[in-house]
Amino acid sequence: MDSIIEFITDYGVFALRVAAALLTVLTVVKCFYSMRIQKRGKKPLISLHNTITDETVPVYYWENSLGRSRGSDIYIADSTVSRDHAVLLRRNEGWFISDTGSKAGVFVNNKRCQGRTQIFLNDVITLGATQFEVKKGESSHQSVSEKDTAPHKKAMRPFVLLLLMLFSLLMFFTQAAFASDGFMPEAFVVYGAFSAVVISVFAFTRGFLKRASFELETLGLLFSGMGVSLLIRQNLRQAYVQLICVVLGVILFLVIIRLLEYPDKLLKMRMYAMGAAVVLLAINLVFGTVRSGAQNWIQIGSITVQPSELVKVIFIFVSAATLDVLQTNRNLTEFIVFSAICIGALFIMSDFGTALIFFATFLIISIIRSGDYKTVILALVAAFFGAMIILCFKPYIAQRFAAWGNVWQNYDDAAYQQARVLTYSASGGLFGVGVGNGFLKYIFASESDLVFGLLCEESGLIVAVTVALSLAALVFYTREITTLSRSSFYSISACCAAGLLIIQASLNVFGATDILPLTGVTLPFISLGGSSMISCWGLLAFIKAADERTYKKLSRKHIVQVAES
């Protein structure tokens, strides 16, 4: 009789694992599918009629550069026009033109404009010898077929995504409840609490903010929920702490999106943000405590915070700017100095993993902002010498390199953790041994640095790879929406945020699995760590903000009205 019950539980629990894997894949695929097909088609917002050549130029973006340089959004073949002459921008209040340091100046209805000047339909803009008349988008001679403009397939309804996600998570939490060392009803309590959070976020976003989409939130909550479920059998208290951090993260997510609505105002805050980051790092340097080799923690009462995680969000924020600001101020010096301070401080704390993340993100930011490959090459050379110096002064880093690629020769000393990750990830098979049934959880840092192994072991290869690949897919999605963003501020910050997340994920996943040396960073959304969880949601906010649909969509009629008034 006992064996029959055991048999049924074995198969039942196994079915849960298969269901968890399939539902996770389904949810993730549906999220990305939905994001893809809801993309706006390429349709001109307004158009510029060149009165001299009688050509009509469509204007596609929220921010458009005008000039003689080939890379301009609106290319003007006129030798009296500067290479980067002006920027034409759309804001909620209407359309504006901004002179970005041109020689000949910008004239609106024959009046030279200073700074941003609002323009209306039928206004005449003069740049050097070229004259444009502002027209409606429809008046473009280029016919735009209906197929390109409207999403022709129906997107997944946000509510369906929400249900799919909650159902996937139910599979994970049920596994945790029925793990092999006895039934644990608390797992369902945690699930209930988590679902309450998810439903509140959904109701708030859809009901109150009336936001059109919920895909990014679905992904973030799905992964955060998985992370929480992995903690239940390890340390129930930490599962609750992690849950609270998810709430804090989502709050930060909503706040940042709200703050980012008006990037022009926000840009003035850059100096304060940098100042705040430097102060945070300084506090860390003075009062920080050392944990496993790195001094990157501050203890306040019973709460420990990792300031460097929050600095990541600031780092992304200060990296970006609107197009007119970018064109008038090309100088990267301020940003390079700030980056150097951040990376330097992390070095002093011996938090080399995070320093590496900052450095790689710095490279992305430099390229996207300036297209300046010289700076990047210089930075790489500097980094190479920096790395040599570290290896000379911090021999334990060199030891990690020694263990790298030689796991099986050192599986009981230098490569102890990596060997366990590989062994247990293989022990999980495709569907895992079940949440809470793993053995990697007894290894130090299994829930943070080694969490990819834990995910492989307990949830199986399919879930782990799905999570990892969806972080990569996020990068592709983010880049895809960049030109549709309401400002290059969003495009740049979103790309950099996605870049930062994937770099961090690379260091975590490949460090644990011996493809790269182990550096000890967290896996976004999954790893245990309050500061890390909050900062991941903060970074996700930048990607969300880059999606044109995030902010209340203005009807075309409204835009035309504003332009006509």
Partner 1 sequence: MKRTRRRSYSVFIFALLFIIGMFVFIFRWFSDGRSWANMPYNGHYAATGIADGGTITDCYGELLAYSSDGERVYNGREDVRKATLHMVGDTSTNISTSIQSIYRSSISGYNILFGASSFGKLLSNTNMQLTIDSAACATAYNALSGRNGAVVVYNYKTGELLCSVSTPTYDPASPPEISSDDTSYDGVYLDKTLSGLYPPGSTFKIVTLCAALENIPDVEDMTFYCNGSTDIDGHKVTCMDSHGELTLKEAFSHSCNIAFAELSCKLGKETLEKYADSLGITTSYKVNGNPTAKGNFDLDKAIKAEVAWAGIGQYTDEVCPMNMAILSAGVARGGSTIIPHTVKNTSLIDLSAVMSSKSLIKPSTAAKIKDMMRSTVSDYYGDWSFPSLTVCAKTGTAETGNNDEAHGWITGFTLDDDCPLAFACVVENGGLGFYSAGNVVSQTLETIAENMRNGN
Residues in region 399-428 near partner 1 by CB under 8 A: 411-412, 419-420, 422-428
> Given the complex with partner 1, which of 63 and 351 has the nearer CB atom?
63
Query: Which CB sits closer to partner 1, 44 or 499?
Result: 499
- Of 64, 82, 174, 296, the residue at the interface with partner 1 (CB under 8 A) is 64
Looking at the Cβ atoms of 242 and 514, the one nearer to partner 1 is: 514
Nearer to partner 1 by Cβ, of 84 and 215: the residue is: 84
Per-residue CA distances from 526 to 90, 186, 242 (Å)? 38, 20, 10
Give the number of other CB atoms < 10 A from CB of residue 131: 16
- Residue 432 CA to residue 424 CA, distance in Å, equals 10
Of 22, 336, 472, 560, the residue at the interface with partner 1 (CB under 8 A) is 472
- Binding partner 1 (rule: CB under 8 A), the pick from 61, 173, 178, 542 is 61
Nearest to 278 by CA among 349, 341, 352: 341
Pairwise CA distance, residues 129 & 50, whole Å: 11
Judged by CB under 8 A, which of 36, 39, 83, 479 binds partner 1? 479
Report, in Å, the least distance between residue 4 CB and partner 1.
Answer: 14
**Which C-beta is closer to partner 1: that of 347 or that of 510?**
510
* Termini Cα distance of the chain: 82
CA distance 263 to 116: 14
For residue 211, give both structure tokens: 């936001």
Nearest Cα neighbor of 485 from 559, 554, 544, 561 is 544
Residue 505 interacting with partner 1 (CB under 8 A):
yes
Give residues 119-148 in contact with partner 1 (rule: CB under 8 A).
Answer: none
**Closer residue to partner 1 (CB): 231 or 496:** 496
Find, among 15, 131, 28, 10, the residue nearest to 464 by Cα.
28
- Least Å distance, CB 283 to partner 1, is 30
Nearer to partner 1, 413 or 564 (CB): 413
- Closest approach of Cβ 162 to partner 1, in Å? 27
CB of 406 to partner 1, least distance (A): 14
Cα atoms found within 13 Å of the Cα of residue 162, Cβ hemisphere only: 17
How many residues make contact with partner 1 (CB under 8 A)? 71
b/e 247-264 (16+ beta carbons within 10 angstroms → b): bebbebbbebbeebeebe
User: Least separation, in Å, of the C-beta of 436 and partner 1?
Assistant: 13
Question: Which tokens is 268 given?
Answer: 């003035």
Query: Which residues pair with residue 119 across a beta bridge?
Result: 95
The span from the CA of 155 to the CA of 553, in Å, is 17
Tell me the backbone φ, ψ of residue 497, rounded to 5 degrees: -65, -45
Contact with partner 1 (CB under 8 A) among 30, 63, 241, 305: 63
The burial of 83, by beta-carbon neighbours within 10 Å (0-12 exposed, 13-18 middle, 19 or more buried), is given as middle
Residues 6 or more apart in contact with residue 84 via CB below 8 angstroms: 65, 67, 69, 72, 100, 101, 102, 327
| The one segment of 137-145, 333-341, 506-514, 556-564 that binds partner 1 by CB under 8 A | 506-514
Name the minimum Å distance from CB 293 to partner 1. 24
Q: Which amino acid is at 254?
A: L
User: Which 480-499 positions form the footprint of partner 1 (CB under 8 A)?
Assistant: 482-483, 485, 488, 491-492, 495-496, 498-499
- Confirm or reject binding of residue 444 to partner 1 (CB under 8 A): no
Kindly state whether residue 432 participates in binding partner 1, applying the rule CB under 8 A. yes
Closest CA to 245 of 19, 553, 522, 547: 522
Among 162, 245, 502, 533, binds partner 1 (CB under 8 A): 502
Between 34 and 466, name the residue whose CB sits nearer to partner 1.
466
What minimum distance in Å lies between the beta carbon of 65 and partner 1?
7
Of 9-48, which residues contact partner 1 (CB under 8 A)?
A: 10-11, 14, 17
Report the C-alpha gap between 180 and 433 in whole angstroms. Answer: 10
Kindly tell me which residue out of 184, 340, 390, 465 binds partner 1, with binding defined by CB under 8 A: 465
Binding segment toward partner 1, per CB under 8 A, in 22-30, 138-146, 196-204, 508-516:
508-516
Toward partner 1, which CB reaches closer, 337 or 430? Answer: 430
Q: Which is nearer to partner 1, 213 or 437 (CB)?
A: 437
CA 183/CA 187 separation, integer angstroms: 9
For partner 1, the binding residue among 439, 445, 549, 560 (CB under 8 A) is 439
Q: For residues 335-394, which are near partner 1 according to CB under 8 A? A: 360, 363-364, 367-369, 371
Burial tier of 71 (Cβ tally within 10 Å: 0-12, 13-18, 19+)? exposed
**Do 507 and 427 touch, CB atoms closer than 8 A?**
no
- Least Å distance, CB 399 to partner 1, is 21
Q: Footprint of partner 1 on residues 301-340 (CB under 8 A)?
A: 323
How many CA atoms, within 13 angstroms, populate the side-chain half-sphere of residue 300? Answer: 5
Query: Number of helices and strands (H, E) in the chain?
Result: 20, 14
Question: Closest distance between partner 1 and the C-beta of residue 112, in Å?
Answer: 26
CA 421 from chain centre, in angstroms, equals 27
Of residues 67-96, which lie at the interface with partner 1 (CB under 8 A)?
Answer: 71-73
CA atoms within 13 A on the CB side of 265: 6
Least Å from the CB of residue 194 to partner 1: 25
Nearer to partner 1, 245 or 497 (CB): 497
